Structure 1
Amino acid sequence: MYRRATSLSQPSGNGLTKPFKTPTLVQTVQRVLPVRKRKRVSYKENAPDSDSEEDNRKGKKKKKEDVAYIDPDADIVNVNRIYPAFKPKPFEVVAKKRFSIPEMRNAAGELIPVVMTGISLGIRPQAILIPRPLHDPMADHAIVLYDPTTDDRETDEERKEREAQDAKEKEEKDRAEALAKSGLQNPHKSLKALLGLDKDKKKTMEKVPVVIDPKLAKVLRPHQVEGVKFLYRCTTGMIVENQYGCIMADEMGLGKTLQCITLMWTLLKQSPRAGKPTIEKCIIACPASLVRNWGNELVKWLGSGAVGTLSIDGKDNKTELVGKVRRWVAASGRNVTLPIMIVSYETLRTLQAELANCSVGLLLCDEGHRLKNDESLTFQSLNSLQVKRRVILSGTPIQNDLTEYFSLLNFANPNYLGSKNDFRKNFENAIVRGRNADASADEHRASEQKLRDLSALVMKFIIRRTNDLLSKYLPIKYEHVVFCDLSPLQLSLYKHFVASPDIKKILRGTGSRPLVAINILKKLCNHPELLQLPEELMGCEGLLPEGFVGARAEGESRGYSARGRGAPSVHSEWSGKFMVLDRMLARLKSETNDKIVLISNYTQTLDKFEILCREKGYGFLRLDGTMNVPKRQKLVDRFNDPEGKEFIFLLSSKAGGCGINLIGANRLILFDPDWNPASDQQALARVWRDGQKKECFVYRFISTGTIEEKIFQRQASKQALSACVVDEKEDTERHFTAENLRQLFQFKEGVLCETHDTFKCKRCKNGRQFIKSPALLYGDASTWNHFTNAELKNNHDDLLRQEVGLPEVSFVFQYISH
């Protein structure tokens, strides 16, 4: 250190210019290494290796392994021989060979099927496809349900995405604020955040039109196109936000089934987003007798195999049924092979637990008036399903009162009208008060105002068209209400019963069995032998004729008729309605080739029809509640066959009054009325519907002056209520007070038509109609044509003209469709 310091202080500086050397040994060690030789490389195609010529001269054969060997002493290496250059074959050579997927076989030599996955090979980028609608909206006769150029409203899918994005941003913001308050927030931004890559890129999906399938568009009539557009707008929430239900309240025969199939098929296949459906699954709930009919309708309009359906028709046992339903519930996305479930209301109640956690896209409720009672098990079972799109199909939305009407609306769009008590307070009480015949002018005005307010709310979700539209497509329908006088036996028994002490107690309000008495009178109006006499009418022994048998035990009369031996005969002369029926059937059999449907509310009456047909040798078929569902459709198909020999179809109104298509017949007799006008209207619409080619004649038999007339009058009152709320007919008259409707057991003997007297008709004088009705309103018989017995000679119907001069038919109301 001393020397170093001294040298630095010298001004000459020789030590600073010398390079620094590390200390070494005195003697240096020298290692002798071979000189590295770099081989020359030849890139010529046929250049020889250094030793190749010598080897060739010696005639040595090289092994294949020697090709990859490089002699370290060689001067030249031929790279092309070790790594030959690739030359593609000409396209003409390659294209001659046919491409086929390689086959794989198992140990047994069997061919293993190859499943195409559709996975693209390599790293080819995903193709950018221009969004296209499923069907061309510019094609001829194309029906567009959604047009993105005019319908700029936010779709349901867009709203869901927006809400999800807003929720995500809010969550991130809340998390950042929480970290800032706790002092744990990182003040430095990540590179991803700085570059703006942390935010999701919002892809603006181009919306496409939704177009009805051309195979359905070509069969839809104008009113059905309007109906499908209404259904689509309601079920996609385009009418009122967050309200997805509606009521298809078209009258029978207008094609509600086809309209709903079109809606369902469109939602299953299309949406404003190209290639994506609106819904994945759909449930069709209907009466048990219509399960198979819905399956047939799907095949009829969409084609066989177009859509998979799970039809629960009662053929499977409980274990198989539950297994099928669980697989249906578990399926989602591309695994949904059976998107449509067709099930009866009764079976759906038993499957409530299995369907509880299943998300359903659409629920169709055929004959939806079964949901009129919101406390019933059926209503509660369907209401518990996870489905927001709910469509109710009902030709008669109002059946008894506005409370039932509210139940239907509340099922389709829950809480839209508030609670039941709110509905009663805001609408029902005022409307019903104003509809009474003895209502004051102020009550009537208040009722009309409430009616307009209610209509403004609910008509957004209800579409209602009457049978008047069918006049363009169907033949004329003549509907008659035929008032038949009681036979002498019926008259004596009826007068005896209404004068009995039991009826007097009921009229005083002290009787305890009014329903039993009503049922006795209704059966008596059909035929006295439907009653067990004299047990059910005490003291009538002296009125019964010789040979009177009375009602048999349940099933006994069917047993007699089935064996064909010892079957009792029908005494048509003991019933006024049976005498008219007997003459009509004889005329049809002898002079026409028409078929007829006979409908009754009592299977006992059907038993009498069956015995009458066997006596006369008439071919007939019978459908009632004892027949299982699979056999019902076969029976209907057999009757509708033009080559079928049976010209009479016996039908129970409860078992087959809903949805069954009997267009093979063009005549129908409803033998007895029901308290519910909807049941009668359903039954009357079995023949006059799509597919009918002949003029239709419909007859409703009513016993003159009896309880059946009171029932018919009450039906008129209910239909007037329906017309006010749903049809909005301003000229529906108010005929009956509440007091009139309680006078069921009063019997007026000798009148031609008590109902006509109640109308106080100004168009008739001295039993003859001298002023033609300005308009025939369906459901309001006061506007129909009125005929006494003598005036029936001017009636269009041959069967009614033959009743002129006979004592059974006293009066007739006539409605002509167009």
Structure 2
Amino acid sequence: MQYELHVLDLMSIYLCHYLIVEDEDSLLPKDEVDRATLCHQGYHQLILDEEVGLRCEFCPHVQLEIKYIVPDFSINPFRKSDRRDSGAMNNSIIDELRSQDWCGDSLSNCDPQLRAEGTVWDIIPGIKNSLYPHQCEGFEFIWKNIAGGIHLQKLKHQTTCAGGSGCIISHAPGTGKTRLTIVFLQTYMKLHPTCRPVIVAPRSMLLTWEEEFRKWDFDIPFHNLNKNELSGKEKLRQDGHMNISVIRMVKLYSWKKDRSILGISYTLFEKLAGEVNKKGKVRTEQDNHFRKILLEVPGIVVLDEGHVARNPDSRILQVLSNIKTDKRIILSGTPFQNNFYELYNTLCLARPVFEDKEGKWLSLTSSITKVTDDRLKYEKLRKVRDMIQPFVHVHKGFILQEKLPGLRDSLVILQPSQLQKSLFEELRDHFVRSSFKFDHYESLISLHPSLLLQCGDDSFPSDKHKLEKSNLEAGVKAKFLIELIRLSEAVNEKVLVFSQFLEPLAFIKDQLKYHFNWNEGKEMLYMDGKHSMEQRQSSINVFNDPTSEARVLLASIKASREGINLVGASRVVLLDVVWNPSVERQAICRAYRLGQKKIVYIYHLIASGAREEAKYYRQTEKDLLSELVFCSSGRGCDQQKISRTVSDDKILEEMVQHDKLKYMFEKIAYQQKESKLIETYSWLEKEPVTSSPSSP
């Protein structure tokens, strides 16, 4: 691999020394392992040879060639070669990072052409033509909030530290928030080359960012701090082993040294930038350097899926709030997660000065769900919307309706078997309905009763003998899913199956092996939180490949709901119901997103008589509040533009009419929530709406 390196300065010597000191603690005693073995394992004893470079004293290995080391040499931190004496090492990478003035400079270092009259669109000519209209609006919206405007004449004398504040890009999942952000960063960093952005995202999405940077030919290095290896774009030539701490320091140094972007997960950011670690131990000097760098260096912070840090009791919200810059961009298709208090935390994270409006916010939102007068309730919602509109840009996903073949969203209420009904009754007698165990057991019973045998609970159920003898017919959701997969296979459509629990996914995996003779990794793929990011990305690539043999992907909804592209699927099955509607929406948008070539059919499976019916309707209430608060910026609630036409579901129709399958179905409701919302609350926008929802 060719490294982008011209001269390696004294910092590299420091790092190599750090490597040896760190790794010597982990070596086996030298009297138990011979020197040749240690060298073979990569543990070299380095000396400084002025004709060769940093080389091993006992083997031909050269760590750093002499051409990459510049004088004056300081005191050699390694054992010295007899060929040269050295002076004291006067600097370290940490010293340089610590002494840096983080604030960017003005436009004086930019391309002189950028000083001409015009707008930010002129920074990269033609870039506007590559964006959708909602992305163009979002691009200018970010510039106005982060920099104060879009006109170069006004911006050219600003520094990266001057003016500006944060904003939220609330565009529906799958509508190109990543692409929009990439275009903004490209233009902003041309105007302010000393700015050092950082992207904080769920760990699984950092690989997605890397893929997008490559896809759009992004010419700025991206350093993924969560990766335990170097990319080759760092300011260091490295041929041997380095521990994680050194690799991270090299990436931070490289990020600071040259125009580049840093990527880091929420978990790692919390670990490195918090005042104390999770075990409550006081941080070391090195820990404090990491913390200082992450909190003070960033000129812009992008928080992808920024609603992740919404809990006021979480350490990650506290740590992110300590970031020095106010130039923060939150990306979230679903900023309203559970309640207005969490939304307030997200808003304050994006724009810290919003905390000044806490009193007004509480007075408006604390009683919204309790108000019985509809007009009073929605007047409060209108005022909430007015408060956030200046720094929240909303796109509800109309581009998906315009560009994609269609979406069919079905609520399928199934008739449970007699065994399932009796277990539901016993479950209600044994456990409190609000408990996690109740939800867990009910979800297992709804798919197939035999799953309870894996729980190891001696008190439930009372008669395990019935479970051992149960067949596929005893589990109505399992029966539905197997038949759906069978029919989808016949028409060459791929199925994506989500569950919040892992046992159902394992059960379905076994059923697919038994009924279809399929193999994991070939016809069926599996993905949960235990899989590495590389494993997940590999499964995604295989599943989306139209020439692959993959037919079904079984996925944990928590591990797969954010930022993952699964457009290979045209059928999406949600085996259970979660309390947070945004979780399901995110999951659905793994398949229903830009790039999808087929109509996407969604199946929310609910067992009649189970508590998950009530959970689903509670989701609908939360969705209603979210839809009314987050109307498209500057256009009002213009959901009437959503297409009402969508093809009939031939597979579901065939199942309902089949003599041996129709007994399963109690009710099927074809969801058109946007249409229902407009019909009920169109008077809020004072615009007549004539559309009406289709009936089941």
TM-score by length of 1: 0.59
2:259 is the alignment partner of 1:349:
no
Query: How far 1:326 moved relative to its partner?
Result: 3.8
Query: How far 1:574 moved relative to its partner?
Result: 1.3
2:487 is the alignment partner of 1:587:
yes
Cα contact 2:202–2:305 (8 A) shared by 1: yes
Cα contact 2:401–2:642 (8 A) shared by 1: no
**Cα 1:216–1:797 shift into 2, 3 Å:** farther
2:366 is the alignment partner of 1:429:
yes
Aligned residue for 2:216?
Answer: 301
Task: Kindly name which structure, 1 or 2, has the bigger radius of gyration based on alpha carbons.
Answer: 1
Q: 1:468 aligns with which of 398, 414, 421?
A: 398
Q: What is the distance in 2 between the residues matched to 1:575 and 1:107?
A: 75
Identity of aligned residues (%): 25
Q: What is the distance in 1 between the residues matched to 2:365 and 2:332?
A: 21
2:387 is the alignment partner of 1:457:
yes
Aligned residue for 1:614?
Answer: 513
Cα contact 1:267–1:279 (8 A) shared by 2: no
Query: How far 1:417 moved relative to its partner?
Result: 4.2
Query: How far 1:329 moved relative to its partner?
Result: 4.7
Query: How far 1:530 moved relative to its partner?
Result: 2.2
Q: Secondary structure at the match of 1:356?
A: helix
**Cα 1:622–1:686 shift into 2, 3 Å:** same
2:558 is the alignment partner of 1:654:
yes
Cα contact 2:298–2:325 (8 A) shared by 1: yes
Q: 2:204 aligns with which of 289, 292, 302?
A: 289
2:145 is the alignment partner of 1:223:
no
Q: What is the distance in 2 between the residues matched to 1:429 and 1:469?
A: 34
Q: Secondary structure at the match of 2:352?
A: coil
Q: What is the distance in 2 between the residues matched to 1:454 and 1:231?
A: 21
Q: What is the distance in 1 between the residues matched to 2:538 and 2:67?
A: 44
Q: Secondary structure at the match of 1:418?
A: helix
**Cα 1:701–1:777 shift into 2, 3 Å:** farther
**Cα 1:107–1:809 shift into 2, 3 Å:** closer
Aligned residue for 2:684?
Answer: none
Q: What is the distance in 1 between the residues matched to 2:498 and 2:255?
A: 45
Q: Secondary structure at the match of 1:392?
A: strand
Question: Match for 1:308: what amino acid?
Answer: P
Q: What is the distance in 1 between the residues matched to 2:543 and 2:420?
A: 34
TM-score by length of 2: 0.68
Matches within 5 A, 1:229-378: 229-238=140-149, 244-270=165-191, 277=192, 280-303=195-218, 306-316=219-229, 320-327=243-250, 329=252, 335-337=257-259, 339-352=260-273, 353=288, 354-357=290-293, 358-378=296-316
1:363-391 Cα shifts (integer Å, max 9, x gaps): 11111111111331111222222222111
Question: Match for 2:369: what amino acid?
Answer: V
Aligned residue for 1:664?
Answer: 568
Matches within 5 A, 1:672-683: 672-683=576-587
1:570-591 Cα shifts (integer Å, max 9, x gaps): x3211111111111111122x2
Q: 1:209 aligns with which of 119, 130, 134?
A: 119
- More helix, by proportion: 2
Q: Secondary structure at the match of 2:604?
A: strand
Question: Match for 2:226: what amino acid?
Answer: D
Cα contact 1:313–1:630 (8 A) shared by 2: no
Q: 1:796 aligns with which of 642, 649, 653?
A: 649
Matches within 5 A, 1:383-462: 383-418=321-356, 420=358, 422-423=359-360, 425-434=362-371, 439=372, 441=373, 444-462=374-392
Cα contact 1:286–1:344 (8 A) shared by 2: yes
1:67-116 Cα shifts (integer Å, max 9, x gaps): xxxxxxxxxxxxxxxxxxxxxxxxxxxxxxxxxxxxxxx999x9999x9x
Q: What is the distance in 1 between the residues matched to 2:269 and 2:574?
A: 31
Relative contact order higher in (CA < 8 Å, ≥ 6 apart)? 2
2:666 is the alignment partner of 1:813:
no
Matches within 5 A, 1:18-29: none
Q: What is the distance in 2 between the residues matched to 1:539 and 1:656?
A: 31
Query: How far 1:524 moved relative to its partner?
Result: 1.7
Q: What is the distance in 2 between the residues matched to 1:112 and 1:658?
A: 46
1:686-737 Cα shifts (integer Å, max 9, x gaps): 11111111222121111123111011011011111111211289xx9xxxxx
Aligned residue for 2:319?
Answer: 381
Cα contact 1:280–1:336 (8 A) shared by 2: no
Aligned residue for 1:631?
Answer: 535
Q: What is the distance in 2 between the residues matched to 1:467 and 1:704?
A: 32
Q: What is the distance in 1 between the residues matched to 2:420 and 2:66?
A: 82
Aligned residue for 2:422?
Answer: 492
Cα contact 1:246–1:461 (8 A) shared by 2: yes
Q: What is the distance in 2 between the residues matched to 1:777 and 1:487?
A: 38
Q: Secondary structure at the match of 2:409?
A: strand
Q: What is the distance in 2 between the residues matched to 1:662 and 1:307?
A: 27
Structure 2 unaligned regions, length at least 5: 1-49, 53-64, 71-103, 108-114, 151-161, 231-240, 274-287, 676-696
**Cα 1:601–1:534 shift into 2, 3 Å:** closer
Aligned residue for 2:35?
Answer: none
Question: RMSD in angstroms over aligned alpha carbons?
Answer: 3.6
Cα contact 1:364–1:393 (8 A) shared by 2: yes
Q: What is the distance in 1 between the residues matched to 2:128 and 2:392?
A: 23
Query: How far 1:295 moved relative to its partner?
Result: 0.4
Structure 1 unaligned regions, length at least 5: 1-105, 116-155, 160-204, 271-276, 508-512, 550-570, 733-773, 786-793
2:617 is the alignment partner of 1:713:
yes
Q: What is the distance in 1 between the residues matched to 2:606 and 2:467?
A: 27
1:614-645 Cα shifts (integer Å, max 9, x gaps): 11223101111121112211121111111111
Cα contact 1:430–1:446 (8 A) shared by 2: no
Query: How far 1:775 moved relative to its partner?
Result: 6.7
Cα contact 1:292–1:313 (8 A) shared by 2: no
Q: What is the distance in 2 between the residues matched to 1:784 and 1:676?
A: 28
1:648-678 Cα shifts (integer Å, max 9, x gaps): 1111111112111011221111111111111
Q: Secondary structure at the match of 2:606?
A: strand
Q: Secondary structure at the match of 2:318?
A: helix
Aligned residue for 1:144?
Answer: none
Matches within 5 A, 1:138-157: none
Question: Match for 2:148: what amino acid?
Answer: G
Cα contact 1:283–1:364 (8 A) shared by 2: yes
Q: 1:724 aligns with which of 610, 620, 628?
A: 628
Matches within 5 A, 1:750-769: none
Cα contact 2:309–2:317 (8 A) shared by 1: yes
**Cα 1:728–1:385 shift into 2, 3 Å:** closer
Q: What is the distance in 1 between the residues matched to 2:629 and 2:169?
A: 15
Aligned residue for 1:95?
Answer: none
Q: Secondary structure at the match of 1:694?
A: coil
Aligned residue for 1:574?
Answer: 474
**Cα 1:269–1:158 shift into 2, 3 Å:** closer
Cα contact 2:105–2:194 (8 A) shared by 1: no
Question: Match for 2:415: what amino acid?
Answer: D
Q: What is the distance in 2 between the residues matched to 1:583 and 1:390?
A: 48
Q: 2:598 aligns with which of 694, 711, 731?
A: 694
Matches within 5 A, 1:149-228: 209-211=119-121, 213-214=124-125, 216-228=127-139
Aligned residue for 1:601?
Answer: 500
**Cα 1:209–1:263 shift into 2, 3 Å:** same
Further displaced range: 362-371 or 346-355: 346-355
Cα contact 2:221–2:261 (8 A) shared by 1: yes
